[in-house]
A and B are shown apart, each in its own frame.
Chain A
Amino acid sequence: MKIEKLYNQRIKELGNSKTHFGALAHADVKITAYNPMCGDDFLLYIEKGHENLKLIRFEGYGCNIAKASTALLAKKLEGLRVEEATKCIQQFLRVADQQENEQPETIWNDPDVLAFTMARHFPERYTCVTLSWIALAKHFSSE
């Protein structure tokens, strides 16, 4: 599997975009997503609405894959309720998981999400792909 498949156009665009990048002055929650192996370090900001995750932003430093997946997290989970976001996180982790037997399209049929299917062929980058998603899942389960 060639690396171009992993660093596909959608991932590169997401990784280089400024979408949802930045701090939230009135964040209710700040969550750190840190990878000790490479030093990638993101801070997720969540401003809660009445029943949902009203705004999600992030700041930090990380590789293109980790940055793209964090941007995707903010993009996809913003506006959802915690239960819905938790379900999406589980779906995303399955899309990227090499051990998963189900076709990614049947798990979450979204072109941006499916761009990360390639992680199934690069299991050494699973941590980069899932860094922020797992950090957020841990936060939800500890709430």
Chain B
Amino acid sequence: MDIEKIRYEFPIFSKNSLKETPLIYLDNASTTHKPQRVIDAITDFYSFSYANVGRGSYGLAQEATKRYEAIRLQVSKFIKAKNVNEIVFTSGTTDGINKMAQSFFQAFAKAGDQILISSQAHHSNLLVWEQWATAYQLKVKEIPTHSMGQIDLKALSQLCKNKTVLVAIEAGTNAFGTIQPVSEIVKIAHESGAKVLIDAAQWITYAPTDVEIWDCDFLVFSAHKVFGPTGLGVLYGKSEWLDKMPPMTLGGGGVLRTVPQTVFKESPYKHEAGTPHMAGVLGLGEALDFITDIGFEQITSHANSLLAYALKELRNMEGVEIYQHLHSPALPIVSFGLSGIHPHDVAAYLNESQICLRAGHHCAQPALVTEGLKATLRASFTLYNTKDEIDELIKHLKTAQKFFS
């Protein structure tokens, strides 16, 4: 994989490369940068092809609809969905979970049912369940995980013995980077009759996603974490469930007629009322093409090699605590701390050298608190990162230790 060539496709890196202190962006678990071709796809649509989709019969609108729907098909193939109607566009992972939750409750949940989430859940996959459980008289329980590691499958089996309507977990966690055994989790959940929602926000850019192999019932991800635009996400749902669920959003575009009585469209259209983020969808299509052109074989291998290198270099340092389960497979995310120095101070220090690193609880406060942590530093890598950047990180971490000593 020619990293320099890839970096050149990203304006933020190509414009910065000649500066004395080039940008070192290591916060990809939060969001990823955009290659020029994604930006072009969005601006081209607004500049030359713009019209609303699914409504007008004139040529421009028809063409916009055709392109929009082509991306739906592309997304379905990207995650190996059985059919294109299993793809609902949302405004992001959080929105996808929010939208799916209420509709799901109305269709499938009964008072007293249980929802299981991970003890390392991201707030997006925690608050929705926590807040709505009371309204629908449901119980929310956390599935314990091994320290900073994978879900305890025995505990999951045990918990599933109580009437469980949904198991909602992350394919990979954002706080510690743990990859969960999704297929096993789905199998256990299905044996008890529960459906499974996979939050693939962190996973989606790391390795191929195959909803058929995982056999999950729902899956969500965000375009902005996969080199696409913000304000757009995808909710995958098995047709058999999406069809039974009431519309997730109500309004124009999701309905066939309202007179003499309301008749909703079929899935996924009944779930997508309102004018969608059309330009964003075209941007996502381009982003997925960008990934496909490089190929996951190279992307995953590069990510693994960066993670291994970063871990080796961090372990060689004095005064570093690495927060990771030793025996769990991991996304290219390293959570760590410098002994005696607050992560926020380190992040501020690194910022001086244009090194972007996240410090805090990473929207997964319960996961950190369970491990006795308040905040960590988190470096997360993707296809445009290099070992040289990790060397720079290590160099500046060492000077930070001296500075704050």
Contact = CB atoms under 8 A, between A and B. Distances in A.
Nearest to B361: A39
Given A37-B360, A38-B375, A39-B361, A64 B342 contact: yes
Given A37-B360, A39-B374, A62 B342 contact: yes
Q: What is the size category of the interface that chain A forms with chain B?
A: 20 to 34
A65 interface: yes
Contact of B345 (A2, A63, A122): A63
A78 interface: no
B396 to A, nearest CB: 11
B349 interface: yes
Given A3-B349, A3-B352, A38-B359, A63 B344 contact: yes
B349 A38 contact: no
Contacts of A64: 341-342, 345, 404
A2 B404 contact: no
A123 B365 CA distance: 26
B403 interface: yes
B399 to A, nearest CB: 11
A40 interface: yes
Contacts of A67: 342
Interface of B: 341-345, 348-349, 351-352, 359-361, 365, 368, 374-375, 403-404
A61 B368 CA distance: 14
B351 to A, nearest CB: 8
Cβ-closest 9 pairs across A and B: A63-B344, A63-B342, A3-B352, A38-B360, A39-B361, A39-B375, A63-B345, A64-B345, A61-B374
18 contacts: A3-B349, A3-B351, A3-B352, A7-B345, A7-B404, A38-B361, A39-B365, A39-B368, A39-B374, A61-B342, A61-B375, A62-B342, A63-B342, A63-B343, A63-B345, A64-B342, A65-B345, A128-B344
Contacts of A122: 348
A86 to B, nearest CB: 28
What secondary structure prevails in chain B residues at the interface with A? helix
Contacts of B403: 4, 7
A39 to B, nearest CB: 4
A41 B345 contact: no
A67 B140 CA distance: 36
A64 B343 CA distance: 10
Contacts of B351: 3
A121 interface: no
Interface in A1-30: 2-4, 6-7, 12
A54 interface: no
Given A7-B403, A62-B342, A63-B345, A41 B374 contact: yes
Interface string A66-79: 11000000000000
A37 B343 CA distance: 12
A12 B404 CA distance: 8
A39 B360 contact: yes
Contacts of B374: 39, 41, 61
Contacts of B359: 38
Nearest to A67: B342
A106 B10 CA distance: 48
A38 B352 contact: no
A120 interface: no
Nearest to B404: A64
A41 B360 CA distance: 12
Contact of A40 (B341, B344, B404): B344
A72 to B, nearest CB: 17
A4 B345 CA distance: 12
Nearest to B342: A63
A6 B404 CA distance: 12
A3 B342 contact: no
Interface string A49-64: 0000000000001111
Nearest to A60: B374
